[in-house]
């Protein structure tokens, strides 16, 4: 008696799907396409609203005080560019801009120099402690920095760092460490280890390999971290208001100018000119480097 053996290749034919009934994959694609087309008008609506707000702020900064009070939504009869000069002089924005630039450049470079070696070491460590250390730093993303300002102020006061640009710079560096370390670890982890092996064969040490080979290869992530650091701290007010007494930043200059305006007359047109001075560098960065920022963040997360 012979026994029939059915090979794995001779499987039963699939039952064709009924006509007019799409498969699960096509249904998923269709639903995603519908969601995409439903969200695109909403996204453009938000963009249009933001652009209109910025245009209204610019037009308001070029009006007179009378026009601002009587017809805030109309086109200015005459463009008063002197409002920007008045805001710059009355608000003492020159000192604030200088201190803000020093803070941005110093905190950005300091954060990169501090996080890049640590991220490289964590990306090349094979022990379980590397993952635990990375998670420990990432937990800092969920802790608002404002919740620790009281013990932070006490420590900085005892160390003589209150009312100091250097002390405020240390705070900006510390608040930027968790995200910078998380993103740079992903970048260094994606770089091939064959480069380090070739450098070791040529006699290069670990520090030489990192600074001359691996560090330049991660420039996309480094630039992204620097730009995000600049955007996040350019208009920062809370820590600057708490830590600085006699010194000022650009955001503090605008804050003090808004308070003094209550006693010197409600010149909202000059106040809007100060706001434009504050947000104009951020708008330029977004317009020129917006695609670079998105690509850097997406590359870091995907790797």
Distance CA 163, CA 246 (A): 7
**Both tokens of residue 143?**
């802790």
Structural domain boundaries in the chain: 91-302
Q: Which residue would you say has higher pLDDT here, 193 or 292? A: 193
Q: How far is CA 289 from CA 53, 182, 260, 301, in A?
A: 21, 21, 36, 19
97-115 mean pLDDT: 93
| DSSP, res 140 | G
Residue-level pLDDT at 202:
82
Mean of all residue pLDDT scores within the chain: 81
Among 279, 278, 258, residue whose Cα is nearest residue 268: 258
Residue-level length of the chain: 303
**pLDDT of 33-87, one tens digit each?**
676 677 788 888 988 998 899 899 999 889 888 888 788 888 888 888 888 988 8
- Reading the block at residue 284, the tokens are 């330029």
**Please, are residues 287 and 170 in contact by the beta-carbon 8 Å criterion?**
no
CATH of 91-302, one of 1.10.10.10, 1.10.3720.10, 3.90.470.10, 1.10.10.60: 1.10.3720.10
Rounded to 5 degrees, φ, ψ at 273 are -65, -40
Contact assessment for residue 156 and residue 167, using Cβ atoms and an 8 Å cutoff: yes
């Amino acid at each position: 008696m012979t026994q029939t053996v059915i090979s794995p290749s001779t499987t039963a034919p699939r039952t064709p799907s009924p006509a007019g009934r799409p498969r699960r994959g096509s249904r998923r694609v269709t639903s995603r396409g519908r969601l995409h087309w439903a969200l695109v008008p909403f996204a453009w609506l938000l963009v249009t609203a933001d652009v209109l707000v910025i245009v209204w702020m610019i037009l308001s900064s070029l009006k007179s005080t009378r026009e601002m009070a009587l017809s805030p939504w109309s086109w200015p009869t005459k463009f008063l560019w002197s409002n920007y000069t008045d805001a710059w002089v009355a608000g003492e924005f020159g000192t604030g801009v200088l201190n803000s630039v020093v803070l941005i450049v110093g905190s950005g470079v300091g954060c990169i120099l501090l996080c890049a070696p640590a991220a490289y070491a964590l990306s090349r460590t094979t022990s379980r402690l590397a993952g635990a250390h990375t998670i420990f730093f990432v937990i800092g993303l969920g802790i608002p920095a404002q919740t620790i300002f009281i013990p932070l102020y006490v420590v900085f006061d005892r160390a003589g760092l209150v009312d100091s640009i250097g002390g405020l710079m240390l705070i900006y560096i510390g608040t930027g460490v968790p995200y910078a370390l998380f993103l740079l670890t992903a970048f260094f982890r994606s770089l091939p280890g064959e480069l380090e092996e070739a450098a070791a064969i040529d006699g290069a040490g670990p520090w030489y390999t990192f600074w001359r080979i691996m560090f330049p290869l991660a420039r996309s992530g480094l630039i992204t971290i620097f730009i995000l650091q600049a955007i996040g701290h350019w208009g920062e007010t809370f820590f600057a208001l708490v830590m600085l007494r006699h010194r000022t930043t650009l955001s503090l200059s605008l804050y003090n100018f808004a308070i003094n305006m209550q006693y010197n007359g409600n010149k909202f047109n000059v106040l809007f000119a100060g706001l434009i001075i504050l947000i104009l560098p951020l708008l330029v960065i977004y317009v020129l480097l917006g695609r670079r920022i998105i690509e850097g963040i997406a590359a870091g997360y995907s790797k």
